[in-house]
Amino acid sequence: MALVLHSGSGNKNAFKALIAAEYCGVKVELPKNFEMGVSNKTPEFIKMNPLGKVPVLETPDGAVFESNAIARYVARSKGDNLLWGGSLVEYARVEQWMDFAATEVDLLPPSKMVLDDWKRLYSNTKSNFHDVAVKGFWEMYDPEGYSLWFCDYKYQEENTVSYVTLNKVGGFLQRMDLCRKYAFGKMLVIGSEAPFKVKGLWLFRGQDIPEFVMKEVYDMELYEWTKVDLSDEAQKKRVEAMIEDLEPFEGQALLDAKCFK
């Protein structure tokens, strides 16, 4: 049985395994017509990875998920290959650089905004939130060093069970932990009845979403991302409403509001 890498052909995380396979002379196949949001929700796929996360490597001995684990498996699948290191220290250095690349390789711009100061203000403001915290955010915000993004879940019609929807958002926030020192986020679950809408606001260091986040957090593919245009007063008001958990939001009640800080 050939190794089968379940993922779209353009998935950046899948490239790790494909590059390792090319260097090692290992045959890895991609399934035809893989469609994110469809193929990864089938019972067969969920059996391989209950989270529905890509990529997943199907091997003769079972499935392996998480992109770095897959790359390691491929690199070690031929005994005469030393891509993963020929000694304990070489192996450790391979691991070292894989971990480093996952979180530190992006060159993020300097900024006068101290993110921890904003997070502290957000957490400690217990009353008069708009005049204190929201106003304080705009005073701290550095549009050259940071950018704001709206996100909308692509498959809102699937959000038919409240606790499943809440768990989906909670899992996303857990997987975003690798960028905690570069980001702040608000995720809203909207509606008093199904289907519930999931929408969010994120503050990221830099003018683009950091590349390592796009690579490592598979949930990013499940959302439409739109950069906030602060010259548009309506978008600025929407930012404030999401920071503040203003209710009703866009005419609907909030089922829940979660903060990533």
Whether 241 is in a domain gets the answer: yes
Residues 67 and 193 in one domain: no
CA distance 231 to 6: 42
Residue that finishes a domain, picked among 103, 125, 152 = 103
106 has a pLDDT exceeding 80: no
Whether 110 is in a domain gets the answer: no
CA distance 251 to 129: 21
Contact (CB, 8 A) for 123 and 60:
no
The residue range of the domain holding 173 is 115-260
Confidence of residue 35 (pLDDT cuts 50, 70, 90): confident
Residues 70 and 144 in one domain: no
Strands 28-29, 62-65: pairing kind: unpaired
Residues 244 and 133 in one domain: yes
Residues 246 and 147 in one domain: yes
Residues 86 and 159 in one domain: no
Residue that finishes a domain, picked among 74, 103, 132 = 103
- Total domain count for the chain? 2
State residue 227's pLDDT score. 97
The string of pLDDT tens digits covering residues 45-60 is 999 998 888 899 999 9
Confidence of residue 201 (pLDDT cuts 50, 70, 90): very high
Look up the CATH number of the domain holding residue 76.
3.40.30.10
CA distance 53 to 61: 19
Residues 22 and 98 in one domain: yes
25 has a pLDDT exceeding 90: no
Residues 28 and 121 in one domain: no
Contact (CB, 8 A) for 23 and 82:
no
Residues 156 and 69 in one domain: no
CA distance 204 to 217: 14
Residues 91 and 158 in one domain: no
Whether 129 is in a domain gets the answer: yes
Residue that finishes a domain, picked among 103, 134, 150 = 103
Residues 246 and 181 in one domain: yes
The string of pLDDT tens digits covering residues 220-258 is 999 999 999 999 999 999 999 999 999 999 999 999 999
Residues 251 and 137 in one domain: yes
Residues 86 and 139 in one domain: no
The string of pLDDT tens digits covering residues 138-181 is 999 999 999 999 999 999 999 999 999 999 999 999 999 989 98
Per the prediction, the chain carries an average pLDDT of 90
Angle of CA points 103, 105, 107, to nearest 5°: 115
Name the one residue in this structure whose structure tokens are 């070489």: 90
State residue 110's pLDDT score. 81
Look up the CATH number of the domain holding residue 126.
3.30.70.1010
Whether 109 is in a domain gets the answer: no
